[in-house]
Amino acid sequence: MKQYLSLFFLGVGAIMFSGDAIAQHAVATYRMPIEDCGILISPSQPDDPYYESDGGGMREPNIYKVGNTYYLFYDGAATHAGHRPEDADPENHLWRTHLAKSKDLKHWERLGPKLRCGIDDDPQGMAKGYKDFWSASSAWLYFDKEEKYWYAFYLGADGAAPSGPDIGTPSTYYSSCLAKARTKGLKGIEGEWIQYNRFPGKEKSVLFYKGKNGSYTQGITVPGPVIINPHWKGEKDTVNFKYMMFATCGANIAIVRSNHLDAVQDWDGDPNPEGWRVEKPIVGPLTEAPGGFAGVTESWETKPNDRQNKTAPENANYYYDPISGYHFLFTNQFNQDYTATDCNVVYWTKDIEHWDDRHSAVVVDAKCTRDGWATGAIGFPSVVRVDDKTLLLVYDAIAGDSWGHTSRHIGYGYWKIPEFDENGDPVNPVLNK
């Protein structure tokens, strides 16, 4: 599809690179790698019930724990049994958000696809304006404790890779879309979802207006984790927005704000005054530049200390440590030199409004994967608390040294929350070299 050979977020782009050595990157100041445990879950096999929908690979894992059950949302690459892998029709190989659950992280029950592409529901949906016509993937979840419903913020795509080994992979243009669980309560996480753009008259619904709604023109967007703003003082607060999202906007992670979880906007209409507002980016190589990475891939500028090394963060996930008082953002990093995501990095701060990329560390890369099981593309970290000092981290990667997007597995490991000195630097640091 259009611009497929350009540089895309979520790792879509010029991916026909096969590295002979481990990718070298200088994206972060420190190294704080996970204790890697290898592969957590793999694509379905031909005899499995969901081989047709996720047998082609698994990406973008977001993990949640409800009670004593782990819920893993991930993008499954469709094989569509009966179609040959070389089938040149991209709709037979699309990516959709799937769900699996486990109580022990060893035995997984797959619950199948949970979000539908626009083409699944209406072959004419592209003409109607569905921004998820070719993809409904990368779902971040938020449970509204007052309303008692789950919300899913997900990526919609206007295109899909038209050919090659990664056929069907989401392609630009990317938009951020919204779905809501049909079933009330925590168990609604397992059920079906209502995608907002399926309502009559709402076909062009997106979270972020295509132009400027806020202080930053966002360009292509990918949603992210949502939290309640720690500075919000209640319903009478007219200064602080209630919700914060850490979204990928262009080549940056930006804070996006709203008082309403469901504040969708019409892509072609005027901006919703109650809608999500994109503020100045907080980390990324283009934090002072106009939004959107399309058209600026050749002009990425490294920071003065060259730590960024032509890399850009994307796909943030958030954790707050109540013991140390630190906020953490876990991101994968798109390396322009390799035209792929090659590692995962964590950023930390005590001031959620301000982040310093000097306070950053590599947490997953080819140097730390168990027995070198993955030495090529590595992406999309998500975390869940294990105990006061430990987080479970999941990520996607392909076994071996490939930079492709299909045939990926979900890996996992455990990350020890570090201690920091009064300047926010880690105690006993290991520099990333």
**Span 370-407, pLDDT tens digits:** 999 999 999 999 999 999 999 999 999 999 999 888 99
Within 13 A of 387's CA, how many CA atoms are on the CB side? 3
Asked if residue 239 lies in contact with residue 166, where contact means CB atoms within 8 angstroms, the answer is no
Q: Which helix (H) or strand (E) holds 53?
A: helix 51-54
Residue the block writes with tokens 């090529």: 376
pTM of this structure: 0.90
Please state, in angstroms and rounded to a whole number, the distance separating the CA atoms of residues 157 and 131.
6
Asked if residue 75 lies in contact with residue 58, where contact means CB atoms within 8 angstroms, the answer is yes
More confident residue, 142 or 428: 142
Please state, in angstroms and rounded to a whole number, the distance separating the CA atoms of residues 59 and 316.
14
One-letter identity of residue 331: T
Question: 130-167: buried (b, 16+ CB within 10 Å) or exposed (e) per residue?
Answer: bbbbbbbbbbbbbbbeeeebbbbbbbbbbbbbeeebbb
pLDDT of residue 217: 65
Q: Is the pLDDT of residue 86 over 70?
A: no
More confident residue, 345 or 338: 345
Confidence of residue 55 (pLDDT cuts 50, 70, 90): very high
Q: Provide mean pLDDT across the span 229-236.
A: 96
Q: Is the pLDDT of residue 344 over 80?
A: yes
Domains of the chain: 9-416 (2.115.10.20)
Residue 281 burial (C-beta neighbours within 10 Å; 0-12, 13-18, 19+):
buried
pLDDT of residue 301: 42
Counting residues of the chain whose pLDDT is more than 70, the rounded percentage is: 85
Please state, in angstroms and rounded to a whole number, the distance separating the CA atoms of residues 115 and 95.
10
Q: Which helix (H) or strand (E) holds 39?
A: strand 35-41
Confidence of residue 227 (pLDDT cuts 50, 70, 90): very high
Confidence of residue 305 (pLDDT cuts 50, 70, 90): very low
**Span 158-186, pLDDT tens digits:** 999 988 888 899 988 899 999 999 999 99
Tell me the two tokens of residue 299. Answer: 């002009």
Of 101, 133, 132, 31, give the one whose Cα is nearest residue 430.
31
Asked if residue 141 lies in contact with residue 189, where contact means CB atoms within 8 angstroms, the answer is yes
